[in-house]
Amino acid sequence: MSDHLMQTYARQPVAFVRGAGCWLFDENGDQYLDALAGIAVNGLGHAHPRLAQALCEQAGRLIHTSNLYRIPQQETLADRLCALSGLDRAFFCNSGAEANEAAIKLARLYGHNRGIENPAIVVMEHSFHGRTLATLSATGNRKVQAGFEPLVTGFVRVPFGDAEAVAKLAVQKNIVAVLVEPYQGEGGVHIPEADYLVKLRALCDANAWLLMLDEVQTGIGRTGKWFAFQHTDILPDVMTLAKGLGSGVPVGACLARGVAAATFVPGKHGSTFGGSPFACTAALTTLEVMEQDGLLANAAEIGAFIRQDMAQRLAGVAGVRDIRGQGLMIGIELDRPCGDLVKQALAQKLIINVTQDSVIRLLPPLVMGQAEAALLTEQLAGLVRAFLA
Ligand SMILES: *Cc1c(COP(=O)(O)O)cnc(C)c1O
* 9 Cα to the center of ligand 1, angstroms: 16
pLDDT in the model for residue 169? 98
User: pLDDT band at residue 1, thresholds of 50, 70 and 90?
Assistant: confident
Tens-digit pLDDT profile for residues 90-114: 999 999 999 999 999 999 999 999 9
Tens-digit pLDDT profile for residues 298-319: 999 999 999 999 999 999 999 9
One-character DSSP codes across 244-297:
GGGTTS--EEEEE-HHHHTS--TTS---SSTT-HHHHHHHHHHHHHHHHTTHHH
Average pLDDT on 36-47 reads 98
The mean of the pLDDT values for the chain is: 98
Closest ligand 1 atom number to CA of residue 127: 13
Which of the following CATH numbers is that of domain 16-34+294-388: 3.30.300.20, 3.40.50.10540, 3.20.19.10, 3.90.1150.10?
3.90.1150.10
Decide if pLDDT at 215 tops 90. Answer: yes
User: pLDDT band at residue 223, thresholds of 50, 70 and 90?
Assistant: very high
Closest ligand 1 atom number to CA of residue 97: 9
pLDDT in the model for residue 125? 98
Q: Is 204 helix (H, G, I), strand (E, B) or coil?
A: helix
* 130 Cα to the center of ligand 1, angstroms: 5
Which residue's C-alpha comes closest to atom 15 of ligand 1? 217
Q: Where in the chain is the domain with CATH 3.90.1150.10?
A: 16-34+294-388
* 133 Cα to the center of ligand 1, angstroms: 13
Q: Report the alpha-carbon distance of residue 373 to residue 361 in Å, rounded.
A: 14
Closest ligand 1 atom number to CA of residue 98: 9
Q: Report the alpha-carbon distance of residue 107 to residue 20 in Å, rounded.
A: 41
Q: Percentages helix, strand, coil for the chain, rounded to the nearest 5? A: 40, 20, 40
User: pLDDT band at residue 272, thresholds of 50, 70 and 90?
Assistant: very high
Confidence (pTM) = 0.98
* 96 Cα to the center of ligand 1, angstroms: 4
CATH number of 51-292: 3.40.640.10
User: pLDDT band at residue 199, thresholds of 50, 70 and 90?
Assistant: very high
* 53 Cα to the center of ligand 1, angstroms: 27
pLDDT in the model for residue 330? 98
Which amino acid makes up residue 266? P
| Ligand 1 site, CB within 6 A | 95-97, 100, 128-130, 181, 185-186, 214, 216-217, 242-243
